[in-house]
């Protein structure tokens, strides 16, 4: 049975800090390993970087549902964003991070994909309709009157956290209007993509990239939107906390494995005289 306890939404609504981590592998066992650690509020399945299928989304969601203290998020590719959003939410993953957005229209499309199409919604009508996927008990919500009512399904949709990447120059240049789109909960700066889009690829320490990072944080906070920061180590959070940031996504499964293999491998090879 789907777990409707969206921890990320509850923490945001109560003005509490949040921490998550990234997974590239869709293996549900890794979700359980992270869940048993007991420290993460959510796991972001970084779907823009690693392969997955529709079955993987359901398996990921089922694994996160095992833990009352944790929920799920998926980072979605730019196309076909509406389709991917509907399938992710339908699998039982309520929170979405949209990548490669450029215009107000792009952001509005992302917001609409997560909201029910109805005049009685609290946050404005979207384009999501009734379905027979996992988030409705595979249709039992309205076919048999079991599991969940259609109103409960709509309420769950409205509780989903909408996060958007600001990583293209076009989006940055129109940031004020983009942040005015209703229903945005979080924004995240993408320094690598932004460096490409302004002609300094990979120079994430470039003054213009650093300036953009700080500007996005400042403007988001002014709009009442939570800036989320990706960090590699917990110590990296301090300067952002001083700026008013409360939301962090730390580390990734592949980064942890690579660092362990590199550091431990080098030390052992040195000990062995190789």
Q: What is the pLDDT of residue 144?
A: 58
Element (H, E) at 270: helix 253-271
Share of the chain above pLDDT 90, in %: 82
Domain boundaries defined on the chain: 7-114+160-271
Q: In CATH, which of 3.20.20.60, 3.40.50.1980, 3.30.420.40, 3.40.605.10 is domain 7-114+160-271?
A: 3.20.20.60
Q: What is the pLDDT of residues 7-17, one digit of tens each?
A: 999 999 999 99
Q: What is the pLDDT of residue 143?
A: 56
- Cα of first residue to Cα of last residue in the chain, in angstroms, is 53
Q: What is the pLDDT of residue 257?
A: 96
CA–CA dist 86, 127 (Å, integer)? 10
pLDDT class of 228 with cuts at 50, 70, 90: very high
Q: What is the pLDDT of residues 68-94, one digit of tens each?
A: 999 999 999 999 999 999 999 999 999
The residue among 35 and 131 whose pLDDT is bigger is: 35
What mean pLDDT, rounded, does the chain reach?
Answer: 93
Q: What is the pLDDT of residue 148?
A: 63
Cβ atoms of residues 18 and 12 within 8 Å: yes
Q: How many residues does the chain have?
A: 274
CA–CA dist 225, 176 (Å, integer)? 12
Q: Output the CA–CA distances (angstroms, integers) from residue 117 to 45, 54, 112, 122, in the order listed.
A: 26, 23, 8, 11
Residue that the structure tokens 């590699």 belong to: 232
For the residues 110-138, what does the mean pLDDT come to?
Answer: 87
Instruction: Inform me whether the pLDDT recorded for 3 exceeds 90.
Output: no
For the residues 197-211, what does the mean pLDDT come to?
Answer: 97
Q: What is the pLDDT of residues 146-162, one digit of tens each?
A: 556 788 888 888 999 99
CA–CA dist 210, 189 (Å, integer)? 10
Strand 247-252 and strand 71-76: the pairing is unpaired
pLDDT class of 263 with cuts at 50, 70, 90: very high
Instruction: Inform me whether the pLDDT recorded for 145 exceeds 80.
Output: no
């Amino acid at each position: 049975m789907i777990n409707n306890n969206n921890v990320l939404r509850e923490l945001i609504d109560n003005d509490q800090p949040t921490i998550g981590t990234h997974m590239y592998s869709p293996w549900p066992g890794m979700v359980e390993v992270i869940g048993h650690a007991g420290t993460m509020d959510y796991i972001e399945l970084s779907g823009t970087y690693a392969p997955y299928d529709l079955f993987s989304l359901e398996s990921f969601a089922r694994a996160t549902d095992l833990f009352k203290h944790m929920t799920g998020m998926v980072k979605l590719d730019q196309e076909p964003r509406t389709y991917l959003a509907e399938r992710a939410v339908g699998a039982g993953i309520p929170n979405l991070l949209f990548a490669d957005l450029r215009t107000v229209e792009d952001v509005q499309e992302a917001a609409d994909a997560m909201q029910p199409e109805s005049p009685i919604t609290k946050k404005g009508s979207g384009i999501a309709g009734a379905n027979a996927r996992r988030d409705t008990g595979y249709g039992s919500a309205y076919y048999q009157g079991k599991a969940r009512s259609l109103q409960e399904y709509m309420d769950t949709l409205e509780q989903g956290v909408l996060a958007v990447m600001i990583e293209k120059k076009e989006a940055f240049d129109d940031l004020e209007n983009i942040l005015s789109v209703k229903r945005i909960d979080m924004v995240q700066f993408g320094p690598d993509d932004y460096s490409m889009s302004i002609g300094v690829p990979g120079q994430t320490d470039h003054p213009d990239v650093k300036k953009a990072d700080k500007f996005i944080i400042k403007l988001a906070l002014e709009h009442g939107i939570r800036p989320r920061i990706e960090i590699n180590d917990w110590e990296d959070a301090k300067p952002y906390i001083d700026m008013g940031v409360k939301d962090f996504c730390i580390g990734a499964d592949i980064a942890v494995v690579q660092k362990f293999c590199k550091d431990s491998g080098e030390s052992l090879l040195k000990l062995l005289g190789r």
